[in-house]
Structure formats: C-alpha cells, structure tokens
A and B are shown apart, each in its own frame.
Chain A
Amino acid sequence: MTGGHRRILVVEDDPETADQLVGSLKTSGYQVDLATSGNEALSRGAAGDYAVITIDRMLPDIDGIAVMRQLRDDGIAAPVLIVSALGEVDDRVRGLRAGGDDYLVKPFSFVELLARVEALGRRSDTIVKETILRVGDLALDLMSRTASRRGKEIVLFPREFQLLEYLVRNEGRVVSRAMLLQHVWDLHFDPSTNIIDVYVGRVRRKVDGQQAYPLIHTVRGVGYSLRAPG
C-alpha cells in the first residue's frame, strides 16, 4: 500500500451519521465510498482497494461482524474499524476477535474517528525499525528506554515513557484518551474520570517544562497531539 493511498469504505445505515462521517473524512483529504447495507459493503469491499474500512455493528441486513468475517474470508486485508452502538466490552472483544483492528463506540467524536482511521491507515504502511525516535529536539531511545530534549535527559517512569512513545509514534495526529488507555494501559473501557488528563499532565510537565517550545498539545474534547512547531 502506498503512502498516497487514502481511500476509505464507510459502512453505515443511518443517513445523517453517514453524511457526517463521509463529510468529515472528505474534509481530511480521504476519498470515501459509502455502503448503506451489509450486502453493498461486501460487493464494494471485494471490488475496491481500501486503506481502511469502517463498519457499523448494526446493519439492516447482515450483522457488521458477519460482514467483516466475510471480507476477511474473501482475502480483504484492509484494517477494519468497528463502530458499535452496543458499546459494551463483550461486543468490543468479540469484534476484535472476529478480525476487527479497532473499535469505536457510538456516539463518538468525529475527531476521534479520524484519529483512529489515521492510526489504522498508518499501520498498514511498512513499519520502520528505528531505535531512536525524534520529534523536534526530543529524542526517544527505544533501546535504553530514555528520553531527552536537547541532549538533557528527562526522567520518566516506564509507563510514562510508553505514553510518550505512543504520542511520538503518532506524531502530528490526534490521539484520544480512549486510544491512550487502550494502547498504553491495555484497558478496554473508560474509567470515567479525568485520570488520563492528570497523567498526561505530569508527563507534559516533565517533557515541556522549561523548554523552548511545547510538544504535547491538548485537543479540546478529544485528547492530545504531539508535534514540533513549524
């Protein structure tokens, strides 16, 4: 898959949600195809070469998970984001076990959906084996698990390092709180407190405190984004 490959299949039966989805994805520069039923999703999925497919769990004809299974059986390897109104962990786990790559619970923020689609799209790119990740003057040594800015070491707990690494790997993209919980803590639920903000706040003080410019930015209503200025 090439880097410029930005075609997405959206499977969603609710017209307004579909409109909003397609609209926001298009605004972000994706080419979007829409399928409003399971059968349509199967025929479109088999025909096109998509970077990411989003599938609503509840469709009028075929269950979203069955659609995904069928696509997998047909040899479609594109990452699948399951959008579920059921939202409970069982369904999430079942969705992932059936071959889904990520899940999102309705109602979701479109920024969050974009963040996840971005992350999934990138996953299908080739993974570069680097030992040192750099963003601006920040350097992460993946071997020694140490971080530094302008050569000055930042003392981080292991989990804090993991969090920073995840932000760095998604440089320039929005990372939601739920994505952090999922990838840094392996938690598939929302602890319904501001605990992540407090945690990121501490990492941010360590990383951005008394530096020339901040790297970690808050994205209101969604989560965080790490990027260098300019």
Chain B
Amino acid sequence: MRYLYWIPLLLALGSCSDDGEYIEVEQDERLTVTLPSNFPPMVYDVEENPPTKFGFALGKKLFYDGKLSANGFISCGFCHEQRFSFTHHGHQFSHGIDDLEGTRNTPSIANMAFFSEFAWDGATSHLDLFPIIPITNEVEMGETMTGVLQKLQLDETYQKEFNAAFEEGGVSHENFLKALAQFMVMMVSYNSKYDKYVRSEDGVSLTEQELQGLNIFQEKCASCHTTDLFSDGSFRNNGLAPNPSLNDIGRAEVSGSVNDNYKFKVPSLRNVALTAPYMHDGRFGSLESVLNFYRNGVQDSPTLDPLLKSENGLGIALTENEEQALIAFLGTLTDEQFINDERFAEY
C-alpha cells in the first residue's frame, strides 16, 4: 500500500518518466508572485520560500482546515473571509474555539508580503512565523504547534502533499509554515478602481467626488496611510479613548515601553469599504463613524501621535462635504477581482 504514494511523487520528480506507462502526472512549478508597478518593493524574500503550485495549494488547504484548531472547527478562514478582504465582517472581535472571544478585530491579510511587522502590535516581524500566534492563542485556535503537526502527520493525504510540495519533504513545522506563507504571499490586492486609475489602465477614471476625496486624502491622511499600500506599517496612537474593560495597551505589550502605550499598527485601507467594523477593537461600525472620530473624537494622551495634534486642536479638520468625498474615494480601493479570485476561495 505504502509504495503507491511514492509513485506519483517519483514521477513528479521526473525520475520515472520512462517506465513505459503513460500516466499524466502534474509537475510542481513555480508561481509568479505579483509585484504591482504602483507598490513599494516586496519585503518578503520569495527566494527563501518561492511559492509553487503544490506549496500554494497545500497552504490554501491548511488555511481552510479546522484541524489547525483544538476543537477541529476553527480554521484561519473562519475569521479571515475572502469576500470581506479576509476579515471577520460584522464581528467586533475575532471568535475562537468554544465561543471564546478575542480582544482585537481581525485584520485583513491582503498584501502581507509587502509589510515587515504583523498583528496590530507587531508581535512578530516575519510573516512565516505569524500563524503561530492565532494557532496557539487560547481564545482563537487554542492549539499547540506540535498538536497541529501530530494531526497532520496522521493524515496520509497531507503526507503526500507535503512531500510533493517541498524538496525536503515531510510534515514538519518548517514546511507547514512555508506552505501557509506561500498562500499569503500570493494574496495581492492590486486591481481596485484606484489602481487602474493610477496605472492608467483600461481607461479608468475617477469621478469628480472621488478625485476630490483623493486630494483630501493626500493632504490629510497620507502621512500615515502612505504609498499605494495605504500604510507605513508604523505603530501610532490615533487618540482612541481606551476601552476601559480591555485597556489594551497595543504595541507596549510587545515592547514593554510606556512610550508605546496605546499604539497600534496603521492598517492598510485597501478594501476598507468591506472590512467593517473598524479600529483594532472594531468599535466603529461605519466609515462615517471613523471619520467623525477623527474630526471630533481624538483624545489627548502622552503617546498621541503628533500628527493629530496641532495649534488648531486635536484630530483632523474635515467638512461634511470633505467627509463624503473621502468615503467616495475610499470606495475606489475595493478590489472585486481580489475578493472573487478563485485561487484564494474556500470552495
């Protein structure tokens, strides 16, 4: 029985092609990683872990497999839903096993390969290692890395898939994390209306209101939401009043520095119209509420970002008309192609 698994593997390696039988076997092949011309350079080193057809397929399977959690039901895709740009739409906090609830809102995982710090507080600085955090968090997936591996090692299909995807095969932590990373590295959202406009593709133009919004955005928002990733990846306190029942100190949990109190990573705004609720704790249900907060709700504290503090007061001055224009502009960042891309789809 066992040798049967080896036949396709050996064929895939091309060493048994002359055995006289005409069996069509898929070859593994390297996938092309998208590097949009309007993006900054990719941070992730794809040469260390080049996405391949089999590696990507394995990563996708793992992403949607509840085996990665303690009770067998909570997959990565449970909280990261494609149609909401891989966020948990409608949920203020991420939900985990046994109906437990986290304390932070599920962030999008589009364009992760272009960033160097991950999670709201930058708890890890390598994309490969990120999955350890939700997998082992007791209110998210509640597993251990070793526990996940033991389950996968018992699964003969996974054994085959790991061996096919990696030269140094085997169901190991290294290959497990590499496969998940390959799946995430391929998730590039770059075909919104805005992208086509800035790349002068398909004759796409923005409406007058969207253009007005873009101008306001560049003037008042783009110092933090920089580049066409719409984030500089830094940690900032944007002046949210801390939720007293959580008192989440953000970046300071990682750095141990009071200077980082209440700082959170500047989120990308790609697909932002789809990713409500907003902020690290999902407190705002609409973009209107977010902008109203920047107009009227910013609270001073020792770590408030200096960009939100001027002689004219706290926050960002916006008229009602400007707010509507900004929301119209933010709508142009929705990438229908990305959220409907079958390569990333669960079913």
Q: Do A and B bind each other?
A: no
